[in-house]
Structure 1
Amino acid sequence: MARVLIADDDADIRELVGFKLTQGGHEVTAVEDGLQALQAVQDHKVDLALLDIRMPGMSGLDVCRTLRADPETAALPILLITARSQEGDVEAGFAAGADDYITKPFSPRELARRVEAVLARASR
C-alpha cells in the first residue's frame, strides 16, 4: 500500500502506530526526531508523514513547514499527532501545512482511518 513515516520521540507511540499501520498493509519507517524525519523523507520516498509536534531537535511543525517549502515534498500528505489540543494549537498545525491533526490519546483504529482518508484525498 503506502510508505508511511512515523516521527515521534515516544517509542511506545511509534511502536503502536507502526504496528497498526503495518497490519493495514503499509510499509512503515519510524524515527524519533524532526531531523531524522526530514532525512527519512528523502531516503525512503514516503507517501505520508505522521509527525508529532513536540520532538527534540526540530518540532513537527518545523518539519511540516520545511516539507511544504520544498517543491519535491510540497504535496506530501502530512498528519500531525500531538497531545496539544487547544484551538490555537490546531490552527497552528493547519497553518504549517498539515492535512490533518489528531490529538493524543487517540484510538489506533481512528488513526488508521484518518491515514486512509488523507491518502485517498492525496491520490485524487
Structure 2
Amino acid sequence: MHGLNKVYINQHNMSTLVIGKGDKQREVYFSIRDMYHLYKYLKQREDDCTALMITERKPYRMLSRRGIQREIGIIAKKAGLKTKLALMFLTHVCNLTLNNGAELVAIQELLGHSSPDDHT
C-alpha cells in the first residue's frame, strides 16, 4: 500500500481506494481484524505525517516501495517462510474472499486481471 495516506482509509465502510496494475483504481476492503490493528497502529503513532506507512526514525516520512518490501522480507524471514510471501498472501486473500461469497471476476479485478486468461 505504497503511497497511501491515512485520510484515504474509509473507516465507515472499512475500505480504501488503491491504484493497481494498469493504473486501475480499485476499492480494497478490510476485515474487522484488519481495522482493529490499523486503528491500534494509528493510535500509537505520535507523528503528524499523513502517510499510512512511515519510516521508523525521524524525520518521519512515507515508507518507500523498497522499504515496504524490505520490511515484509524481514517479517517473512523471522516467520521462517521459505516460499514467496506475496504468492502466499495472494492465495490467502483469494481464498478468504471466495469463501466470503465474492465473485471470481471481482477477485480477478482486485489482482489487476481484465479477463480469466490475463495472468500477467
TM (norm. structure 2) is 0.29
Please say which structure displays the higher CA radius of gyration: 2
